[in-house]
Amino acid sequence: MHEISFNELMAPWLEYVPEKKITGLKLDNRQIELGDVFIAIQGHSLDARIFIADAISAGAAAVIADEGDTGGQFGVTMHDTVPVVTFPDLKSNLSEIAARFYQLPSQRMMMIGVTGTNGKTTVSQLIAQWIDLMGGYTAVMGTTGNGFLTELRPSLNTTASAVDIQQQLASFQHLGATHIAMEVSSHGLVQDRVKAVTFDVAIFTNLSRDHLDYHGSMEAYAEAKFRLFTKFGSPVFVMNADDGVGAQWLESIPEAIAVSLSEEGVKAYSGRKLWLTSVNYTISGVTVEFASDWGAGKFRAPLVGEFNVMNLLLSLATLLGIGYDKSALVNVAQQLRTVNGRMEVFYRADKPLLVVDYAHTPSALGKALTALRRHCEGQLWCIFGCGGDRDTGKRPMMAKISETLADKVILTDDNPRSELPQSIVADMLKGMHSPEKAIVLHNRVQACHYAFENAFENDVILVAGKGHEDYQVLISETIAYSDRETVRKLLEF
């Protein structure tokens, strides 16, 4: 059990609080155990301060209560023997409070942060695999789960709450982790969930339309991502120079490592760089040749698609940037593996090639289809849907992309939530030049079966949108569902 003094926890903000031993931090009063501190946040939809008395009754040793962001004053009141600290702008300081409680765990491991619209999961897990192959012990935190690669536990959000992040980091450090590869979302940055994390490396993959329902504009979305490179003082930056936003940021961060799929893409930068010189695509993977400030090299990896070549190069540049030997990295690259639900290939002889990918943005869908066209000798099928209660503007955009890049398009459901699936599909059809040619099958199992039964052995079927997810969110319930399992059953794996 972790135990510190409440005085020690509050020292940066208050000269004195009553002496108390505390053993945990909890944001939910229903989870309070004897000795915990209840952190009562004033949220948008719920003000947890109304549960302070309940938390104290449940055994809270102390309470830190949100004063809001009005610029008010700190204060300490007593509820019987329990100190209640009034804390101005608590949400913004929660990361530091949690970091202090867990004794600054991010300073005890090498922290690698990955941000961008697409590729965060693949890059973070490639880095973790590569480091482990080199003798390290790496935990990942992100969309597909948190933990060591052999035992990932599901995560609710790409970037967890400020308290959960510090608790998980402390747990990984206790278990012997040497490195952490963390996906850092725009939400997590804007909401200060990682404010007290000490990042040693910051990586930018790319930026395309996503989360505009939250950020409001692409400019605000980009600004949120840029915080990872301006607010944390990381000694190593790695940037995708082929992305327009990445190229712009490289001009203001000349010390960053620039990565490109061509020599032309990095020619303008005076800092360190790594670029692709040659690539060969096969159904079983890619053979990559590169040049860099660390020298040239060649390796093979079992991933498909051009954007995975960029993901490999970003990962390689990161590891070179933190001091790993180039020859050693190249020698173990063939042992890297695809990430669950990220351009994950399912294949049996004499059957169509099936690929499950998480692509749920216009850019990601376009890249996935473009990548698979290289591997497709027959017709390219695309099965996808759009989420309910989310950015409606991308629905016609994604449908237009699928119609343009695929030969056969099946529109299906993807977490319709509280919206009518028919309304979501109607929005999608508005983006198509020939909507009558699209096949609409709301049930994803039926959609996959239709494509598999009507495709030929030299066809490729992309099942996009859900990737690693094992659920479908409907209007009244969340049901178990996995594209990966559906595809496995079709191929009788």
Q: 119 a known binding residue?
A: yes
DSSP 8-state code for residue 339: P
Position of tokens 């209660």? Answer: 389
pLDDT at position 4, please?
A: 95
- Do both 398 and 428 map to the same domain? yes
pLDDT at position 440, please?
A: 98
pLDDT band at 216 (very low <50, low <70, confident <90, very high): low
Q: Do the beta carbons of residue 120 and residue 158 sit within 8 Å?
A: yes
- Do both 306 and 233 map to the same domain? yes
At a CB cut-off of 8 Å and minimum separation 6, what does 173 contact? 105, 108, 109
Q: 378 a known binding residue?
A: no
Task: Report the SS3 class of residue 401.
Answer: helix
pLDDT at position 84, please?
A: 96
- Do both 270 and 125 map to the same domain? yes
The model's pLDDT over 393-448, given as tens digits with 9 standing for 90+, comes to 999 999 999 999 999 999 999 999 999 999 999 999 999 999 999 999 999 999 99
pLDDT at position 277, please?
A: 98
Q: 33 a known binding residue?
A: no
What does the alpha-carbon distance between residue 255 and residue 5 come to, in Å, rounded to a whole number? 41
Q: What is the pTM of this model?
A: 0.84
Q: 49 a known binding residue?
A: no
Q: 489 a known binding residue?
A: no
pLDDT band at 274 (very low <50, low <70, confident <90, very high): very high
Of the ranges 196-205, 215-224, 325-334, 408-417, which one carries the lowest mean pLDDT score?
215-224
Q: Which of 69, 100, 131 is the last residue of a domain?
A: 100
The most confident of the ranges 16-20, 140-144, 304-308, 310-314 is 310-314
User: Which carries the bigger pLDDT value, residue 219 or residue 450?
Assistant: 450
Q: 415 a known binding residue?
A: yes
Rg (CA), the chain: 24
What does the alpha-carbon distance between residue 464 and residue 365 come to, in Å, rounded to a whole number? 7
Q: 120 a known binding residue?
A: yes
Which structure tokens are listed for 461?
């079927």
Which structure tokens are listed for 274?
């790594």
Q: 414 a known binding residue?
A: yes
pLDDT at position 265, please?
A: 97
The model's pLDDT over 278-318, given as tens digits with 9 standing for 90+, comes to 999 877 789 999 999 999 999 999 898 888 999 999 999 99
The bridge status of strand 82-88 relative to strand 75-79 is antiparallel
- Do both 95 and 109 map to the same domain? no
What does the alpha-carbon distance between residue 281 and residue 288 come to, in Å, rounded to a whole number? 9
**How many percent of the chain have pLDDT more than 90?**
79
Q: Please say if the pLDDT value at position 68 is more than 70.
A: yes
- Do both 319 and 277 map to the same domain? yes
Q: CA 320, 322, 325: angle at the middle one, nearest 5?
A: 45
Q: Please say if the pLDDT value at position 69 is more than 80.
A: no
pLDDT band at 210 (very low <50, low <70, confident <90, very high): low
Q: Which of 312, 335, 358 is the last residue of a domain?
A: 335
Q: Average pLDDT, whole number, for the chain?
A: 93
What does the alpha-carbon distance between residue 382 and residue 196 come to, in Å, rounded to a whole number? 42
What does the alpha-carbon distance between residue 176 and residue 139 come to, in Å, rounded to a whole number? 10
Residue 483's CB is within 10 A of a number of other CB atoms, namely 29
- Do both 162 and 131 map to the same domain? yes
Q: 157 a known binding residue?
A: yes
Q: 158 a known binding residue?
A: yes
pLDDT at position 214, please?
A: 57
Over residues 200-209, the mean pLDDT reads 89
Q: 287 a known binding residue?
A: no
- Do both 50 and 182 map to the same domain? no
The model's pLDDT over 354-395, given as tens digits with 9 standing for 90+, comes to 999 999 989 889 999 999 998 888 999 999 999 999 999 999
What does the alpha-carbon distance between residue 193 and residue 175 come to, in Å, rounded to a whole number? 23
Domain count for the chain = 3
Residues 169-184 as b/e (b if ≥16 CB within 10 A, e otherwise) read bbbbbeeebbbbbbbb
Of the ranges 155-159, 214-218, 385-389, which one carries the lowest mean pLDDT score?
214-218
Residues 327-356 as b/e (b if ≥16 CB within 10 A, e otherwise) read eebbeebeebebbbbbbbbbeeeebbbbbb
What does the alpha-carbon distance between residue 357 and residue 384 come to, in Å, rounded to a whole number? 10
At a CB cut-off of 8 Å and minimum separation 6, what does 226 contact? 249
Q: What is the CATH number of the domain that holds 29?
A: 3.40.1390.10
At a CB cut-off of 8 Å and minimum separation 6, what does 331 contact? none
Q: Where are the beta strands (DSSP E) in 101-174?
A: 110-115, 138-142, 145-148
Q: What is the CATH number of the domain that holds 205?
A: 3.40.1190.10
At a CB cut-off of 8 Å and minimum separation 6, what does 225 contact? 115, 116, 186, 189, 204, 207, 245
Q: Do the beta carbons of residue 280 and residue 294 sit within 8 Å?
A: no
Q: 417 a known binding residue?
A: yes
Over residues 149-158, the mean pLDDT reads 82
Q: 193 a known binding residue?
A: yes
pLDDT at position 45, please?
A: 84
Q: What is the CATH number of the domain that holds 355?
A: 3.90.190.20
Q: 469 a known binding residue?
A: yes
Of 225, 264, 265, give the one whose Cα is nearest residue 242. Answer: 265
Q: 93 a known binding residue?
A: no
What does the alpha-carbon distance between residue 412 and residue 416 come to, in Å, rounded to a whole number? 10
- Do both 65 and 145 map to the same domain? no
What does the alpha-carbon distance between residue 18 and residue 162 come to, in Å, rounded to a whole number? 25
- Domain containing residue 12: 4-100
pLDDT at position 469, please?
A: 93
What does the alpha-carbon distance between residue 18 and residue 223 come to, in Å, rounded to a whole number? 41
Q: Please say if the pLDDT value at position 98 is more than 70.
A: yes
- Do both 270 and 148 map to the same domain? yes
pLDDT at position 413, please?
A: 98
Task: Report the SS3 class of residue 448.
Answer: helix
- Do both 236 and 108 map to the same domain? yes
What does the alpha-carbon distance between residue 493 and residue 491 come to, in Å, rounded to a whole number? 6
Over residues 45-56, the mean pLDDT reads 95
Q: Please say if the pLDDT value at position 480 is more than 80.
A: yes
Dihedral, CA atoms, 464, 469, 471, 473, nearest 10 degrees? -70
Q: 122 a known binding residue?
A: yes
What does the alpha-carbon distance between residue 180 and residue 182 come to, in Å, rounded to a whole number? 6
Q: Which of 285, 300, 335 is the last residue of a domain?
A: 335
- Do both 123 and 21 map to the same domain? no
Q: Please say if the pLDDT value at position 213 is more than 70.
A: no
Residue 473 forms beta bridges with which residues? 478
The bridge status of strand 353-357 relative to strand 344-346 is antiparallel
DSSP 8-state code for residue 109: S
Over residues 6-25, the mean pLDDT reads 94
- Do both 176 and 288 map to the same domain? yes
Residue 241's CB is within 10 A of a number of other CB atoms, namely 26
